[in-house]
Structure 1
């Protein structure tokens, strides 16, 4: 009996303490933490976009060098021209002997190789990572690739058919400008910093923020302190002007999955903007005190009620039952002394019924009366008492869960937090566009190698492209009738049989379990040979590769939808071509559409869902490039509860306190009902039957507690009464002496 009562009181006091602690620490004045955290994640997303651009360029340079068909007649000058003439972004290039570092050929502007140990850089077996150098006062990136040459190239004066040694390599070095960051969101500035905090590139959008002050140096120092955490990020607070405060985020441009091309560059992305501060704060300490105080009062009332109405009466009943059992089983004056004292009737309901029945049994044991019938009365008992207790807990908890501190959808989420979600959705959209554009560009490069080749050579080109691009699940050529003439990789998912003009990105099915997104381009004709009219190269993109680039911390659920708002890719479970999970998200996606012929603009809003406010945003997939005319969107939805927003935190913690209080209170009352009240109801029925003359029903104790002890005592009383009844029927029962009866009556 004591454990459930003590547990109920203690747990309610614990919930009261948690309510006080959880709600008292929420304050909404100043800049919400969600804004600073959001700026940190924007910096991390921007750093990821820059890392992706550098990695893609490094892969392109290596892939071009690997695919170059070097022959024994190739010279450094012709090789360098063939590898760089079609590239527009190259500032300068050079071809070196990797063993000696000797320049073999140069092109464009001078490539700054001072400080670069060419022999050491090229000595490893893996790829040579890019280097950051200074040339003409500007910082540039050097990309490296190995060009393998036939062994005959070692000595041009020797017989061309004579093999003089193993294959040799040249080292290609390409100099390009550092990719410029993209500033997303009105009023935001993005900077790329080196390890010392010097700004290498800057971009801003809309009304620019004031000067960063000491933020670049602080960001560089924070990045240096992060040590081996290559994808470290953080947030900073800048200066305040009036009611506006500068918030900043920084992130390293380094690989998150092990050694990468950007790990040695020491680049850091810094983003910052000014946001309005909240001057009229909301303090939840008063509410916390009232809610916790009410629960403390309830805990004390529960203890008083259970102690005086259940615990003490049950203990008296336990002692009285034991006394009757001793009097019934023992002999002599001590036994009659035990039986001479009346049984006190305490409590109500089942305890009162049991006490009256015990008193009847006592009188039967001393011969004062015979069996007594007890009428069935429908009066409230301890089951109703437990129900009232549960109702009291419900009255405290239900308002906490469903009514109090409910966040207003229109005002709960600060405007800067909503702007952060929209900005991150734009970055996610740009990341998807980057990936698709790069695949389309690489598919064009593959198509340029196909004209004029034999079928075996074309298949080899496609196999090499498939091996270099894990994002493609299959590559195939279509003829003018739409039939596949050559394929490598998995079975195509296409169900739309057509031969499109031009090139770009499209879907090639409209149903099925897996959406089929493909890049396609025309295979050009070759002069002097049969035209390749109607031949199109398709590269079906593995949707898993697209899904993998959508997940970002605290961005929530992300979907890529087509022009009809049907899901093509997502970072959460989905069915192909299904609608978005909420009609509000579909309306949000349609709201991004601009005038006919335009890409549209990003938009965001707060939607109310069954689990609370949700910060949602949508952005067109692309405003330029091969995916512009598709009308696709990127839609995101992040529960506001996952963000550190004061109003939402207060709602969440209030609901949690209500759920905890209700769950623990009902659990303890249920425990009390199972181990005390329900057995007590059974005992009350049995003892009334025993007092009414039922001597055959054996009373079995179920639990080893107070009620079980009462049951064992009643079984001893039943056995004594049954023995007395048998003795009375056989005529051997002896009446108690007159002196003892007189003593009993006097008492």
Structure 2
């Protein structure tokens, strides 16, 4: 028999696969335990550390880029002096603690300002010789750790006086200075009540610390900073590695910590080589109740194993064995119908046993009738049209038996309680991460506004060509903008660079800030805008307000974070402006519960509001959701926008949710595999048997014309081939009988038919 044909493979597969599902149930549910500190809590703290590290990395990258961009944009002339150049580059930057200007060839200090800058180990020639950007360095000055930012200042060529020998080698060549600016580490913020955030160096020494609420520093657990530094050092080439650490237990609470490297996640960046690590920690209450699903797993697996063995025995004794016996009987009758001699008589002499029920019983009874017809002991026999239940009903009963185990597993057992399945620390972590995401988005908007304001301040007094060139340079330097344009007093566009504006609102706003410039369409248009103020004695700019439309794709790409779920930015009417998942512009949030959560963040008029979180249920299951107001201060202060996040509880490593998922998976697997195997049995056995039963009953009823073609090369196909041989034998005997009647005329029936034994022998000879 073929490997996938016959009655044995589907029955054996059904039993084996159900036993495999039973084993997987034991393995999958047996290792689900409710620990005192769930793994989801540790994972949440790890992600908070990673988000905080991303914020620190972004601030360092932005500051380094700003220093370089300011130096590159400085309009140096051949008469610029080091002192005036240094003052122009650093006087407007409040974050700069100290600055210095070095000669790129000799390393000589040309000018200094503010606090002394530690220049030990600074190789001006080596730093300026390359074509790429110069990464910041972490140094110690006055007992504190600071960051040194570097930038190249290029001056045009000039003819120096012969007495100034230090410039003789540079005559008629372009000069280059090295700007060094020292700044403190970026301000660190801790989110979530009771949480501490620290920035560590490579040795585990805390460089900056922030706490929120009643938090106690992680240094109180003296082993955590050193452990985080060692873990970061052991991460190898994974520059954006992160992890979690369990801390000490005190008074029914345990400290959980997360660490993450402050390094570029997309290749070489400004933070590479600094060796900074962010460590966050928070004391969480220990779970009082524990759950063990091992006993349930054994009971469920035992019940499924019993069902599998029961189905195997039922199908073996009701289908497999009767079909094999029927196959042997049909083969025996075919040999008796085609072979001459006494051996054929012996084959036909034994009655056909009728086994089973349904189609097999019908075929057995029809075969017995054909056996008698081959022996000449009877004629065609009619069979009743009404028949009892067949093997389709048996297959349905088998499916119902498995469904009786699988359906409760899918829909009833181990259901996670939405109210208690998600521990409070996990919910608090989602809220803290939402606040971090909100802060990062707000900083992005603030930076867009600052960059645009700087450009707007530089436009008056310059020619139209120079203004166009300034906008083009800004567009090239700031990839977040898709279009820059100046509006005149009538609201028309006086000057534009970049893509076609998406704006549909034609107005000239007062003040400066962040706004939307359309209310419909496929793409929301979020824009920063700044007034272009006229300067006395200088030519006015081409317009009065400078707009910079922010590329929403860039904004969307920055929203997604691991394990944070879906993220949406909504306006004051709760319409979606940006999202980490697919969306339509200005559509409502996908769930009304999320809308209510966003509205709950709104505070009293004139206040920013507060973040909030909740566990919400939907058709796809419970999810951990949070919302935070975007407006705090600065250009977004007047906006009543929100950031909303939703993480499915199924994605969190919560014991109750894991037990529910694996219970459902076991039920789905058992039901799917049983239906597949029973469908296989139906295709290769039950349906062919129904067809064969109809044909054999018609053959036993006298139909000698219908040719029986075996379709399958298995037991049913062998039965069909045997029936075809019997049909041919009966048809030939019928033709011979009609020929004999035509030759003898009416000589009498006694001349045509002798004794009963003679008829049997004559039939066998034919």
Q: TM-score, normalised by structure 1?
A: 0.97
Whether the 8 Å CA contact 1:65–1:145 is kept in 2: the answer is yes
**CA–CA distance in 1 between the matches of 2:353 and 2:317?**
15
User: Which of 630, 633, 640 is matched with 1:624 structurally?
Assistant: 633
Partner of 1:34: 40
Alignment of 1:427 with 2:433, yes or no, is: no
1:224-275 Cα deviation digits (max 9, x unpaired): 1111111011110110113211100000000001100000111000000011
Change over 3 Å in CA distance of 1:412–1:735 after alignment to 2: farther
SS at match of 2:182: strand
1:300-339 per-residue CA deviation (whole Å, 9 max, x = no partner) reads: 0100000000001000100000000000000110000000
- Pairing 1:144–2:163 present: no
Range with greater deviation from structure 2 (324-333 or 289-298):
289-298
**Pair 1:271 & 2:277 matched:** no
d(CA) in 2 for partners of 1:736, 1:352: 33
Aligned to 1:488: 497
Change (3 A) 1:278 1:735: farther
Q: Distance in 2 between matches of 1:5 and 1:734?
A: 50
Counterpart among 608, 612, 618 of residue 621 in structure 2: 612
The answer to whether 1:110 aligns with 2:116 is: yes
* CA displacement at 1:56 relative to structure 2: 0.4
The corresponding residue for 2:206 is: 199
Instruction: State how far apart, in whole Å, the 1-side matches of 2:439 and 2:429 are.
Output: 15
Deviation at 1:123, TM superposition (A): 2.1
Which residue number corresponds to residue 88 of structure 1? 94
Long gaps (5+) in structure 2 = 1-6, 742-751
3-state SS in 2 of match to 1:431: helix
Aligned residue for 2:227? 218
Q: Which residue of 2 aligns with 1:386?
A: 395
- 2-11 vs 117-126, which deviates more? 117-126
Q: C-alpha offsets along residues 267-308 of structure 1, whole Å, 9 cap, x if unaligned? A: 000000011111211111121111111110110010000000
Aligned to 2:238: 229
CA deviation vs aligned residue, 1:62-94 (integer Å, no higher than 9, x gap): 111000000111000000011111111110000
Give how far 1:624 is off.
Answer: 1.7
Output one character per residue of 1:555-580: Cα deviation in whole Å (capped at 9) or x when no partner.
Answer: 11111100111000011111110111
- Paired residue for 2:179? 172
Corresponding residue for residue 537 of structure 1: 546
1:583-622 C-alpha deviation (Å, 9 max, x unpaired): 1111111011111111111111111122211111111113
Is 1:98 aligned to 2:104, yes or no? yes
1:412-451 to structure 2, matched below 5 A, reads 412-451=421-460
- How far apart are the structure 2 equivalents of 1:541 and 1:566? 18
The answer to whether 1:371 aligns with 2:380 is yes
* Alignment partner, residue 238 of structure 1: 247
Residue 17 (structure 1) aligned with residue 36 (structure 2):
no
- Which stretch of structure 1 is more off in the superposition, 733-742 or 60-69? 733-742
Give the counterpart of 1:570 among 563, 579, 582.
579
Deviations 1:36-78 (A, max 9, x none): 0110110000000000000000111111100000011100000
1:559 and 2:553 aligned: no
2:265 corresponding residue in structure 1: 256
Matched-pair contact (CA < 8 Å) for 1:526–1:532: no
Task: Measure, in 1, the Cα distance between the counterparts of 2:179 and 2:118.
Answer: 13
CA deviations on 1:471-502 (whole Å, 9 max, x unpaired) are 00011111111111111111111111111111
Partner of 1:464: 473
- Corresponding residue for residue 215 of structure 2: 208
Counterpart Cα distance in 2 of 1:633 and 1:515: 15
| Match of residue 633 from structure 1 | 642
Measured after TM superposition, the shift of residue 734 of structure 1 is 6.3
Q: Is the 8 A contact 2:568 2:645 kept in 1?
A: yes
**Deviation at residue 737 of structure 1 after TM alignment:** 5.8
In structure 2, distance between residues paired with 1:734 and 1:714: 26
Match of 2:514 among 501, 505, 512: 505
Distance 2:252 2:333 in 1: 81
Among candidates 131, 140, 143, match of residue 134 of structure 1: 140
Whether the aligned pair in 1 keeps the contact of 2:243 and 2:259 (CA below 8 Å) is: yes
Q: 2:61 corresponds to which residue?
A: 55
In structure 1, how many angstroms separate the alpha carbons of the residues matched to 2:221 and 2:626?
28
Q: Is the 8 A contact 2:68 2:151 kept in 1?
A: yes
1:75 paired with 2:81, answer: yes
Q: Which secondary structure does the structure 2 equivalent of 1:681 belong to?
A: helix
Within 2, Cα distance between the matches of 1:327 and 1:531?
114
* Alpha-carbon distance in 2 for matches of 1:499, 1:647: 56
CA distance in 1, matches of 2:24, 2:54: 39
Q: 1:430 touches 1:622 (CA, 8 Å); kept in 2?
A: no
Deviates more, 1:126-135 or 1:276-285: 276-285
2:588 counterpart (563, 579, 593): 579
Which of the residues 704, 721, 731 maps onto 2:713? 704
Q: Is the 8 A contact 1:499 1:534 kept in 2?
A: no
Across the aligned residues of Structure 1 and Structure 2, the Cα RMSD in angstroms comes to: 1.8
* Equivalent pair of 1:480/1:533 in contact (CA under 8 Å): no
Mapped partners of 1:726, 1:463: distance in 2? 101
- Which whole-Å CA distance do the structure 1 matches of 2:208 and 2:705 have between them? 97
Whether the aligned pair in 2 keeps the contact of 1:557 and 1:636 (CA below 8 Å) is yes
Q: How many Å separate the matches in 1 of 2:671 and 2:244?
A: 39
User: Please, which runs of 5 or more residues in structure 1 have no aligned partner?
Assistant: none
Q: What are the Cα deviations for residues 323-380 of structure 1, in whole angstroms up to 9, with x where unaligned?
A: 0000000011000000000000000000001000000000011111111101112311
Q: CA deviation at 1:521?
A: 0.6
Q: 1:117-155 CA distances to partner (integer Å, 9 max, x unpaired)?
A: 332222211111101100000000110000110111755
Contact 2:517–2:527 (8 Å) recurs in 1: yes
Change (3 A) 1:34 1:148: same
1:713 aligns with 2:732: no
Counterparts of 2:117 and 2:497, CA distance in 1 = 40
On the 8 A contact 2:460/2:538 being kept in 1, the answer is no
